[in-house]
Amino acid sequence: MAAEWWKKAVVYQIYPRSFKDSDGDGIGDLNGIIEKLDYLEELGIDAVWLSPVCKSPQDDNGYDISDYQDIDPLFGSLLDMERLIKEAGEHGIKIIMDLVLNHTSDEHRWFLEAKKSKDNPYHDYYVWRDGEEGVLPNDMRACFGGPAWEWVPELSQYYFHQFSVKQPDLNWENEAVRREIYEMIRWWMDKGVGGFRLDVIDQIAKEPDLKITGNGPRLHEFIRELSRETFQKGDCVTVGECWGADTERAKLYSAPDGSEFSMVFQFEHMDLDGGETFKWNDRRIDLVELKAVLSKWQVELEGKAWNSLYWCNHDQPRMLSRLGNTSSSYRETSAKMLAICLHMMQGTPYVYQGEELGMTNAPFEKLEDFRDIESINAYHQYVENGRFDHDTMMRYLRYKSRDNARTPMQWDDTENAGFTKGIPWIMVNPNYREINAADQMARPDSVFHFYQKLIRLRKEHEIVVYGHYELLMPDDPELYVYTREWNGEMLLVVCNFSDNERRFVFPEGLDAKKAELWIGNYPEAQAADDMVLRAYEAMVFYFGTQMRNRAEGTIYG
């Protein structure tokens, strides 16, 4: 396997609105990020994925771009962005920009032109269908609720939008659109960005008449052209956000020949608790299913593709509230357990801001506390059509809303968690008095220092990057146990996902006396052939010489 830098890297995702506000308007900004570069360097990460900061009416918090080549004044200026790229570089950190190429804002110059007339040169930049008012081209729905078609009376046409009405889909069939996009990307590359995250990129090759959105027929043709015309001309890391990816597609998206992207960011493990009412429920993810899905990706991609490892991002609730335990007795222990479980796998880990502090979901009380367009629209859709009553829907929103990940970063225990001197755009989680970066950095046994150590282990040991993965005890509903093997070395990773004490017997052929405990989330832990794991206990054992004798078959039977 080629040793590209990003295979050894750890990426930190920043949601700029909620990271650090430098000017007191209650919204995080680029200068706020610059203030915190020392913090990021101390954590040990290699790159920052920045959620969109380009000019935008903020209908979907920046995922609706009205000018790809300018910075939204909320976040700063182009000069601030250039300074961020430069200063981050001095801290050894690359900046990965979020490219939203499936759609623009309806306030983008292209769309304003496109709406003027059918003969306007920009008209065909978007997806239009003739029609009659009230008779939609078909029954396709938008991801944020409502029909995917919006009527423009002056043109007697509908335009297509997979997300909100303010996010018209671009027409990738039109070569002029593709050319403009490539030019824009090369312009950012010249500014020194280290890479790109490609928003909902598997939805660009749509065929609305056939009701195809994801994985359209020309998808890989478009992506290869995009990659050839842009990323391959420089040393960029690229990560494709692909909601519809399975492991077979992932081998195309992140083919080792570099013809598409560096890696894929997929959702199969995140969707495990979804269902008939999309994500709106309060089901827990089943550990046996989670292990099966994560292991499938580990095994099937090895040597053939490269995956992103993550528990959380700006579209997901906090993982600690979803899979861990937020009570004061177990919050830090379970946060560290989740971190071990993920960071010892193959792939590039992503740390979502605040995850390294053990941040949790927020106690939103009223609908007015939410800011996210998806959550608010979903509330209206499900409550107004009688599917859920108010209390049920509020419970689901509290558990699953994307706003859980978007509350301000908790820097210290001063007002507004040290995030802003103004009024924060969304509520600060009141638990900032206990959970904040200042406290975490001061305590050697904190979640922050645990992440720091896990990141260091990846840098120091190739086995963490390249080791061959094998799942043990697949049917155990509480323990997640796996091994990694590389050049005669072995790791045994043991995670107790429950609050029960659990007996754990070392796998046959692995001698606990030869195990070196790399990292564990309880003090005074040690290896024993027959041991009791405490609630949420997790450990990584290292064996300098491989115990397995391949000629005799696997030791685990």
Strand (E) or helix (H) holding 306? none
We find the least distance from the C-beta atom of residue 401 to ligand GLC, in angstroms, to be 12
Residues 163-182 interacting with ligand GLC (rule: CB under 6 A): 163
Tokens matching residue 142: 């938008």
Strand (E) or helix (H) holding 520? strand 516-520
We find the least distance from the C-beta atom of residue 162 to ligand GLC, in angstroms, to be 8
199 forms part of the interface with ligand GLC (CB under 6 A): yes
If you ran DSSP here, which 8-state letter would residue 275 be given? B
Q: Which residue is nearest to ligand GLC (CB)?
A: 63
In angstroms, rounded to a whole number, what is the distance separating the alpha carbons of residues 269 and 285?
Answer: 9
Contact between 301 and 247 under an 8 Å Cβ cutoff? The reply is yes
Contact between 240 and 198 under an 8 Å Cβ cutoff? The reply is yes
Coil/strand/helix, residue 452? helix
* Three-class HEC string of 28-67: CCHHHHHHCHHHHHHHCCCEEEECCCEECCCCCCCCCCCE
Among 29, 59, 60, 485, binds ligand GLC (CB under 6 A): 60
241 catalytic residue (yes or no) = yes
Residues 296-335 interacting with ligand GLC (rule: CB under 6 A): 314-315
In angstroms, rounded to a whole number, what is the distance separating the alpha carbons of residues 122 and 104?
Answer: 13
All residues at 6 or more sequence positions from 242 whose CB lies less than 8 Å from its CB, including other chains: 201, 202, 249, 250, 253, 264, 265, 266, 267
Residues 208-247 interacting with ligand GLC (rule: CB under 6 A): 241
In angstroms, rounded to a whole number, what is the distance separating the alpha carbons of residues 43 and 35?
Answer: 15
In angstroms, rounded to a whole number, what is the distance separating the alpha carbons of residues 479 and 535?
Answer: 11
Among 12, 15, 63, 280, binds ligand GLC (CB under 6 A): 63
Coil/strand/helix, residue 305? coil
In one letter, which amino acid is 465? Answer: V
We find the least distance from the C-beta atom of residue 480 to ligand GLC, in angstroms, to be 27
We find the least distance from the C-beta atom of residue 406 to ligand GLC, in angstroms, to be 10
Nearer to ligand GLC, 60 or 72 (CB): 60
Nearer to ligand GLC, 307 or 325 (CB): 307
Helices (H) and strands (E) in the chain, counts: 15, 20
199 catalytic residue (yes or no) = yes
Nearer to ligand GLC, 88 or 170 (CB): 170
Nearer to ligand GLC, 241 or 369 (CB): 241
We find the least distance from the C-beta atom of residue 338 to ligand GLC, in angstroms, to be 21
In angstroms, rounded to a whole number, what is the distance separating the alpha carbons of residues 295 and 307?
Answer: 12
Nearer to ligand GLC, 315 or 485 (CB): 315
Residues 343-402 interacting with ligand GLC (rule: CB under 6 A): none
Contact between 251 and 301 under an 8 Å Cβ cutoff? The reply is yes
Check 106, 241, 273, 356 and give the catalytic one. Answer: 241
Nearer to ligand GLC, 62 or 358 (CB): 62
Nearer to ligand GLC, 95 or 481 (CB): 95
Strand (E) or helix (H) holding 398? helix 390-400
Rounded to a whole number of angstroms, the CA Rg of the chain reads 24
Nearer to ligand GLC, 143 or 287 (CB): 143
- Total residues interacting with ligand GLC, rule: CB under 6 A: 9
Contact between 98 and 197 under an 8 Å Cβ cutoff? The reply is yes
Nearer to ligand GLC, 198 or 464 (CB): 198
Site string for ligand GLC, 448-467 (x = CB under 6 A): --------------------
Tokens matching residue 396: 């689901």
Check 21, 169, 199, 355 and give the catalytic one. Answer: 199
Give buried/exposed letters for 153-174 (b at 16+ CB in 10 A, else e). eebebbbbbbbbbbbbbbbbbb
Residue located via tokens 């519809």: 244
Residues 124-163 interacting with ligand GLC (rule: CB under 6 A): 163
We find the least distance from the C-beta atom of residue 497 to ligand GLC, in angstroms, to be 27
Where does 27-185 show beta strands of DSSP type E? Answer: 47-50, 54-55, 67-71, 94-99, 128-130, 149-152, 157-160
If you ran DSSP here, which 8-state letter would residue 285 be given? P
Residues contributing to the site for ligand GLC (CB under 6 A):
60, 63, 100, 163, 199-200, 241, 314-315
Which residues are identified as catalytic? 199, 241
